[in-house]
Chains A and B, each alone.
Chain A
Amino acid sequence: GAGVSQSPSNKVTEKGKDVELRCDPISGHTALYWYRQSLGQGLEFLIYFQGNSAPDKSGLPSDRFSAERTGGSVSTLTIQRTQQEDSAVYLCASSFSREGPQHFGDGTRLSIL
């Protein structure tokens, strides 16, 4: 499809394991955002990529969280040594430019047992 694609849609893992979440933005979109959303809550900003600029990592909650964006396209969010409080929906969004509206993926629902 032409939208933002996230995988997996659901992930259940044991505490202490590492997880990788993938985001495939809309082709040609230069901006890419990762957010975390707990049940019934608002969006918590994690990280922002804009073109070839250094990413804005100011929202990452701890050094267990990291993200990459390869070739200005696909992004991977990695959470190491997962904790139960990491359980949430992780949303990815992209936009054509810094100014444009964001288009969101359907999210990855992460559950840490």
Chain B
Amino acid sequence: AQKITQTQPGMFVQEKEAVTLDCTYDTSDQSYGLFWYKQPSSGEMIFLIYQGSYDEQNATEGRYSLNFQKARKSANLVISASQLGDSAMYFCAMRPRDDKIIFGKGTRLHILP
């Protein structure tokens, strides 16, 4: 069965520190995509970063990077030099090859000044 697990319901991090948000997944497919989305308190869902299962290098987008460990089936999001504006809900998602995308339950990140 396809599954996404985010084990951290909430996190508090000091501003300017790096943050790692955990995500593990389960799929029998060899080809799949992994995504991270940010949802601020205003409610919009913002696409952050994508990793394909066959990509050999970890994806990076500005301060965001995806720590992809295929053998462990983990796709943790790393935010470097956190900012107050990073406070939001973060969702990990997986799209198996022949099925619809599925989302984790999310991690609420609070950046402290």
The chain A residues found within 8 Å of chain B, CB to CB, are: 33, 41-43, 45, 48, 56, 89, 91, 93, 98-99, 101-104, 106-107
A-B contacts, 22 listed (Cβ < 8 Å): A33-B100, A33-B101, A41-B105, A42-B91, A43-B91, A45-B102, A45-B103, A48-B100, A56-B100, A89-B43, A98-B95, A99-B95, A101-B47, A101-B50, A102-B37, A102-B47, A104-B44, A104-B45, A104-B46, A106-B43, A106-B44, A107-B44
Contact residues in B for A99 (Cβ distance below 8 Å): 33, 95
Q: Determine the distance from Cα of A91 to Cα of B95 in the docked complex, in whole angstroms.
A: 18
Q: Determine the distance from Cα of A109 to Cα of B57 in the docked complex, in whole angstroms.
A: 39
Other A-B pairs beyond A33-B100, A42-B104, A106-B43, 9, CB < 8 Å:
A42-B106, A43-B91, A45-B103, A89-B43, A93-B45, A101-B47, A102-B47, A104-B44, A107-B43
Q: Determine the distance from Cα of A50 to Cα of B33 in the docked complex, in whole angstroms.
A: 17
**Binding site of B, secondary structure by majority: helix, strand, loop or mixed?**
strand
Chain B contact residue count (CB 8 A cutoff): 18
Q: State which of B43, B44, B101, B106 has its C-beta within 8 Å of the C-beta of A102.
A: B101
Q: Is B35 at the interface (CB under 8 A from chain A)?
A: yes
Interface centre among A33, A43, A103, A104 (most CB of B within 10 A): A43
Contact residues in B for A93 (Cβ distance below 8 Å): 45
Contact residues in B for A104 (Cβ distance below 8 Å): 37, 44-46
Shortest CB-to-CB span from A83 to chain B, Å, is 23
Q: Determine the distance from Cα of A98 to Cα of B103 in the docked complex, in whole angstroms.
A: 15
Determine the residue in chain A with the shortest Cβ distance to B4.
A42
Q: Determine the distance from Cα of A101 to Cα of B47 in the docked complex, in whole angstroms.
A: 7
Interface centre among B47, B100, B103, B104 (most CB of A within 10 A): B100
Shortest CB-to-CB span from A89 to chain B, Å, is 7
